Amino acid sequence: MKIIDPNFLNPSISVFSNCPTCQGLIPIKRKDGILDVEERNCPHCGIQIYREEIIENLLRNVFITQAISSANQIISLDIAIFIFLSVSIFTFFYSSQFPFIHNLFIVCLAVWIFPLILCIGWLYKHGQWVSNDEEYLQAKNTIKKSTVLWITAHFFNLLLLIYKFWM
Ligand SMILES: [Zn+2]
């Protein structure tokens, strides 16, 4: 969702609301120092849009944009899955040669739960919007995939630890 239009000729940031009927974007301009959210006719389908509808959709767009940017930050942690699995496998095979690394890994296990908590937190906090916004839907999908990846990685690591414990 692009609610910020980086137009260099017009440096004032524009935000958008949506028409409740046709979903067309409605730019919200600043007027006398405040956002102009007065009722108007949709520039796309011509239907009358009330002030409350303009405000509601404007806020929704802001929240969805926030959700997307938060998702992008969480997804950037996905790379840590490979580090987590590498250390997990390494300590499984070489714990006797490198007991310090093994112990450090065990001590730090809680830290590796953090990205999983973030993913689940995102789905709980940001994943509930009803929206057709492609960028939002894609972000939601990617977070779901990240959640599955992290759960799988932790499950795999748990199996290794249990196996090692019983050896
Ligand atoms: Zn419309």
Determine, yes or no, domain membership for 1.
no
Determine, yes or no, domain membership for 22.
yes
Q: How many Å lie between the centroid of ligand 1 and the Cα of residue 59?
A: 18
Domain that holds residue 55: 6-166
Q: pLDDT for 113-156, tens place per residue?
A: 999 999 999 999 999 998 888 999 999 999 999 999 999 999 99
Residue 116: left (phi > 0), alpha (psi -120 to 50), or beta? alpha
Determine, yes or no, domain membership for 117.
yes
pLDDT of 5? 54
Q: How many Å lie between the centroid of ligand 1 and the Cα of residue 61?
A: 16
Q: How many Å lie between the centroid of ligand 1 and the Cα of residue 20?
A: 7
pLDDT of 125? 96
pLDDT of 94? 87
Q: How many Å lie between the centroid of ligand 1 and the Cα of residue 50?
A: 12
User: Considering its fold, how many domains does the chain have in total?
Assistant: 1
Determine, yes or no, domain membership for 98.
yes
Euclidean distance between CA atoms 135 and 161, whole angstroms: 39
**Whole-structure pTM value:** 0.79
Residues 70-92 have a mean pLDDT of 92
Residues 72-89 have a mean pLDDT of 92
